[in-house]
Amino acid sequence: MEDKLKNNQEENNLDTNQPSQGQKIKQENTDNASENMEAKSKQQENKEKNQSGRDSVQSMEEELEKLQNEHLEKLSELEKKLEESNEKFLRLFSEFDNFRKRTSKERIELSKTASADIIVALLPVLDDLERAAQAEKEQDQDNNGGISLIYNKFRKILEQKGVEEIPTVGEEFNTDFHEAISHVPAKDKKQKGKVIEEVQRGYLLNEKVIRFARVVVAN
């Protein structure tokens, strides 16, 4: 009898130690709530990490855009300086080329007219030789004397240096080449405004007048 009572008491103790069904459900709910909170915490943490990552990417993009803009500005400045340098170079080159052409032209003209003063000083000698040769020829029409030979040689040398005679008799009076020392009435309309007599021969040196022809003009 005592053994039976003892056994019943032990069974009652076992039943008392085991949790009830309600306690199990409550425990499960507590565990689920804890798991949910933990999951939410992790989700929030991941969300914050993602937001931080996005902020970091956005910050990097802004920094990269800033650097690109700075590089573009520097590139634009360099291109502008290069363009200014090219324009300056072309302007200087053009000025130098014009200077070279101008000095070359001046040097050529100077070489052509360098002897102008000497030739102008020799023109009276040429006039005297021409008159002497003409007088010599009138005295002896059959032979060319020494003066005529000297005159012709002297004139050819001057022609080789660029000296030319200015046409006069029968030409229209031109103030660019002729100097009128007298005017006479024209015998006919064809003579009007033309040179009818040459008093002193005029000369050109390389197409430039070094002595005007002194003439008589018919009006």
Clarify whether residues 57 and 139 are in a common domain: no
- Tokens 């005007």 correspond to 212
Walk along the chain (219 residues) and give the pLDDT tens digit of each residue: 555 555 555 555 545 455 556 666 666 667 666 776 777 777 777 676 667 767 777 888 888 888 888 888 888 889 989 999 999 999 999 999 999 999 888 887 777 667 788 899 999 999 999 999 888 888 876 566 788 899 999 999 999 988 999 999 999 999 999 999 999 998 888 888 999 999 999 999 988 899 999 999 998
> Which CATH number fits the domain that encloses residue 133?
2.30.22.10
pLDDT at 10: 55
Clarify whether residues 37 and 58 are in a common domain: yes
Clarify whether residues 94 and 185 are in a common domain: no
Burial of 161 (0-12, 13-18, 19+ CB in 10 A): middle
* Nearest-angstrom CA–CA distance, 51 and 106: 81
pLDDT at 57: 77
Strands 203-205 and 163-165, how do they pair?
A: antiparallel
Clarify whether residues 84 and 129 are in a common domain: no
Coil, helix or strand at residue 154? helix
pLDDT at 146: 84
